[in-house]
Amino acid sequence: MKIAKFDVSDDAPIEDGRPATAAPAGPVPRHVAIIMDGNGRWATSHGLPRFEGHRRGVEAVRRTIAAAIELGIEALTVFSFSSENWTRPEGEVDELMGLLKLFIRRDLHDLHTRNVRVRILGEGHPRDGEIQAMLREAESLTGGNTGLTLAVAFNYGSQNEIARAARTLAREVAAGRLSPEDITPARLAGALDTVGLPPLDLVIRTSGEQRLSNFLLWQAAYAELVFLPVLWPDFDRGWFEQALAEFASRERRFGGLDAAGRT
């Protein structure tokens, strides 16, 4: 697998197959979103059923939340299930639903104790009524917390989110409460599921795939993208710090010039 920057070259110190971890220096992103990919491939490469990859993936989620809190990140968004993941075999969908329910049951109290505020991104779906209810309960229980915001993208698809936001604004126009000229990027952003979250700074995708898979397309307009060759169940604080170090080394221009005024 060839991944620029993260390829282990001859002169890079190697520890269990990855470059040595550097403590993040420089700016820490306020909002990090993660496409947690590679559970199935992890399981297959260990001769295990895909379910085991998903189960180990939940452990990686726990590690990542703990690391985000320690690293002082304001908001962490995790892609837990996409609106396209329903096309997977029914057995796998059921397993994923079961794991998410178990995670909420087991971890919600602990997250609440750690001052984590849970947010949900995505649209309700007839097949997930129980999970939606649990997620909404998590949102209201932790709504007053002031620590890390953990946004869980469930049955989430970015195109669907943007279409829903457009529909909300169209209804306002139809009702005469808004004129078409009022529809600005800021107004549309305010109708997205991510309203109130800090601007997205960094998207991390594990497993070596280099695509966004319908995740936060609007919000990622000026986010830095970091693709890591690690499969999600193996993601840990070292990999997280690696991504943060990469982020800190990037020069963000937002369409302007660099700090010295050069193009």
Q: Which of 260, 205, 176 is nearest to 35 (CA)?
A: 205
Number of chain residues interacting with ligand IPE (CB under 6 A): 18
- Tell the smallest beta-carbon distance from residue 221 to ligand IPE (Å): 19
For 77, residues 6+ apart whose C-beta sits below 8 A from its C-beta are: 31, 32, 33, 34, 121, 150, 151, 152, 153, 194, 197, 200, 216
- How far apart (Å, rounded) are the C-alpha atoms in residues 93 and 96? 5
- How far apart (Å, rounded) are the C-alpha atoms in residues 160 and 201? 22
Q: Which of 201, 220, 172 is nearest to 72 (CA)?
A: 201
From the list 4-12, 22-30, 34-42, 241-249, the region that binds ligand IPE by CB under 6 A is 34-42
Is residue 209 a contact residue for ligand IPE (CB under 6 A)? yes
Q: Which is nearer to ligand IPE, 39 or 132 (CB)?
A: 39
From the list 1-9, 80-88, 127-135, 191-199, the region that binds ligand IPE by CB under 6 A is 80-88
Distances (CA, A) of 216 to 55, 77, 141, 172, 209: 25, 10, 25, 24, 16
Q: Which residues are catalytic?
A: 37, 85
- Decide which of ligand IPE, Mg ion, none touches 219; Cβ closer than 5 to 8 Å per partner kind: none
Site for Mg ion in 8-37 (CB under 5 A): 37
Is residue 207 a contact residue for ligand IPE (CB under 6 A)? yes
Q: Which is nearer to ligand IPE, 96 or 216 (CB)?
A: 96
Q: Check whether 42 is labelled as a binding-site residue.
A: yes
CA atoms within 13 A on the CB side of 144: 2
- What is the edge-to-edge ordering of all strands in the sheet holding 202-205? 117-121, 149-156, 75-82, 31-35, 202-205, 224-227
- How far apart (Å, rounded) are the C-alpha atoms in residues 123 and 155? 6
Residue type, position 52, single letter: E
Is residue 41 a contact residue for ligand IPE (CB under 6 A)? yes
- Tell the smallest beta-carbon distance from residue 143 to ligand IPE (Å): 24
Contacts with ligand IPE, residue ranges (CB under 6 A): 35-41, 79-82, 85, 96, 207, 209, 211, 213, 232
Annotated binding-site positions for Mg(2+): 37, 224
Annotated binding-site positions: 37-42, 50, 54, 82-84, 86, 88, 205, 211-213, 224
Annotated binding-site positions for substrate: 38-42, 50, 54, 82-84, 86, 88, 205, 211-213
